[in-house]
Amino acid sequence: MITSLTDAGQTTTGEAILFWILAVVMVLAAGGLLFARKAVHAALSLIVVMIGLAFLYVAQDAPFLGVVQVVVYTGAIMMLFLFVLMLVGVDASDTLTETLRGQRWIAALGGLGLAVVLAGVVGRAHYGPAAGLTNANADSNPVALARLVFGSYAFALEVVGALLITAAIGAIMLTHRRRLTPRVTQRERSAARVLDGTIAGKPAPGVYARHNAMDVPALGPDGRPIDTSVSRVLRVRGQEADAQEYAARIDRVLSGSWATAPASGVEAAEPPELGEAGRVDEAAAAGAKEQS
């Protein structure tokens, strides 16, 4: 058996190989948590650490905990983290301004000191020969664990159940929002839009523009770019195409020199004229049909 120990408390060679590979991978991934710029990358490297830990639990005669580690930690907790990351938004990255001067270096030094002290104490302590779990796991690991959890620790299990219920209700309470203002229905929204002067909804990116890519802002009937038509995420990341450049091209088209301009991929069949609202609407319908 791969997990059995020798009399002197030494592990088998197979387990040693598994340990050294996983230890390197896990420490590197934990470093990713420390150094990754984006929160999503940090979450992914933490998932790598947790799966590595599940492997180590199985190798250490704790298959039940290995399964629970995958189901609870990587399956539930890390998915909750990713869910909250998506809720908070991609632009919620680390701030780099230091409110306390030198805090970063002092904290790094403190962490290094903790590592040295802990590893030193653990490495120098004398444990005696390891017993191994072959006897304790005689009826298989889950059965032996169940005897303990539902036997000696039954009261602790009930307290933990009460804690879980309390946590669930607490989370509902914390994220509950009481409605302070009357509910705005679709009818009121539409009335407000009519009063505001914009009857239709916001245009999709690329409408009227010479490209229908996601990052090209839509152009209004007057040829001005509408910045709000580009997704907020692209604007925050600074990946929006330059609106002024496209507006200048449209100006060139409107001034009549469009025929002499070098033909690009999207041909301007007929420059929309400002005076006739009907023709502009026709062009919009054609553009929408092309987009879909």
Partner 1 sequence: MTLTHYVVLAAILFSIGATTVLVRRNAIIVFMGVELMLNATNLALVTFSRMHGNLTGQVLAFFVMVVAAAEVVIGLAIIISIFRTRRSASVDDVNLLKS
Binding residues for partner 1 restricted to 163-192, rule: CB under 8 A: 163-164, 166-168, 170-171, 174-175, 177
- The reply on whether position 34 binds partner 1 by CB under 8 A is yes
Nearest to 137 by CA among 129, 127, 147, 151: 147
In contact, 229 and 243? CB cutoff 8 Å: no
Give the three-state DSSP class for 226.
strand
Exactly one of 9, 191, 228, 251 binds partner 1 (CB under 8 A); which one? Answer: 9
Q: Is 46 exposed, middle or buried (0-12, 13-18, 19+ CB in 10 A)?
A: buried
Exactly one of 25, 81, 231, 284 binds partner 1 (CB under 8 A); which one? Answer: 81
- The reply on whether position 1 binds partner 1 by CB under 8 A is no
Q: CA-to-CA distance for 50 and 57, rounded, in angstroms?
A: 11
Give the three-state DSSP class for 218.
strand
- The reply on whether position 233 binds partner 1 by CB under 8 A is no
Label each residue of 9-75 as H, E or C. Answer: CCCCHHHHHHHHHHHHHHHHHHHHHHHCCCHHHHHHHHHHHHHHHHHHHHHCCCHHHHHHHHHHHHH
Nearer to partner 1, 42 or 247 (CB): 42
H or E element in which residue 281 lies:
helix 277-291
The DSSP letter of residue 140 is: -
- The reply on whether position 90 binds partner 1 by CB under 8 A is no
- The reply on whether position 122 binds partner 1 by CB under 8 A is yes
Q: Please list every residue from 257 through 286 that binds partner 1, using CB under 8 A.
A: none
- The reply on whether position 214 binds partner 1 by CB under 8 A is no
Q: Please list every residue from 97 through 116 that binds partner 1, using CB under 8 A.
A: 97, 99, 104, 107-108, 110-112, 114-115
CA distances 185 to 61, 109, 138, 179, Å, are 59, 56, 64, 14
- The reply on whether position 143 binds partner 1 by CB under 8 A is no
- The reply on whether position 65 binds partner 1 by CB under 8 A is yes
Q: Tell me which stretch binds partner 1 (CB under 8 A): 58-66, 230-238, 247-255, 277-285.
A: 58-66
CB 256, min distance to partner 1, A: 47
Nearer to partner 1, 96 or 269 (CB): 96
Nearer to partner 1, 62 or 247 (CB): 62
- The reply on whether position 73 binds partner 1 by CB under 8 A is yes
Q: Which residues of 120-142 are buried (b: 16+ CB within 10 A; e: fewer)?
A: eeeeeeeeeeeebbeeebeeebe
Q: Which residues contact 78 (CB under 8 A, 6 or more apart)?
A: 43, 46, 47, 50
Q: Tell me which stretch binds partner 1 (CB under 8 A): 45-53, 188-196, 210-218, 244-252.
A: 45-53
H or E element in which residue 78 lies:
helix 78-88
- The reply on whether position 86 binds partner 1 by CB under 8 A is no
Q: Considering CB under 8 A, how many residues would be counted as binding partner 1?
A: 83
CB 232, min distance to partner 1, A: 13
Exactly one of 55, 61, 203, 229 binds partner 1 (CB under 8 A); which one? Answer: 61
Nearer to partner 1, 77 or 288 (CB): 77
Q: CA-to-CA distance for 209 and 224, rounded, in angstroms?
A: 10
